Amino acid sequence: MPCVRKRRGKWVIDFYDQFGKRHWETVGTNKKRAEEVLATRLLDVGKNVYCPENKTKTFGEVAEEWFKTQIAPNKRPKTSNFYRNHLDNHLLPYFTNLKLSRIDVGTIERLHGTQT
């Protein structure tokens, strides 16, 4: 059962993620803020998109790892250069620092300028 508790003078949220793993997160000295954070976490869990912040990789990290392990060693140089240019010119400028859990359809539509 998710809850908000006061421990050692600070408010802590306690909840289980979509995989059944328990999480404790210290929020601060404001109970209302702790309740808001808990509600946000529970919405993410309900959508199966919750990932602890310290474990979530950014798009830039994943793209670089993908390029180095999947593209560079397995493709011809011309094809590899095509992928590298596409990443550098179109995707990385917009998504580099975004956590993967925060990229959704709306984010991608804004990239293309087709936000509804």
Q: Which tens digits make up the pLDDT trace of 31-72?
A: 999 999 999 999 988 888 787 766 778 899 999 999 999 999
Evaluate if pTM is beyond 0.75: no
pLDDT at 71: 93
Q: Are residues 64 and 108 in the same domain?
A: yes
The parent domain of residue 98 ranges over 59-112
pLDDT digit string (tens) for 76-92?
999 999 999 999 998 99
Q: Are residues 76 and 108 in the same domain?
A: yes
Q: Are residues 63 and 45 in the same domain?
A: no
The domain total for the chain is: 2
- CB atoms under 10 Å from CB of 102, counted, come to 14
Q: Are residues 41 and 86 in the same domain?
A: no
- pLDDT higher at 21 or 49: 21
Asked whether residue 12 carries a pLDDT value surpassing 90, the answer given is yes
Q: Are residues 78 and 44 in the same domain?
A: no
Read off the tokens for 29.
């000295």
Closest by CA position to 47, among listed 17, 22, 13: 17
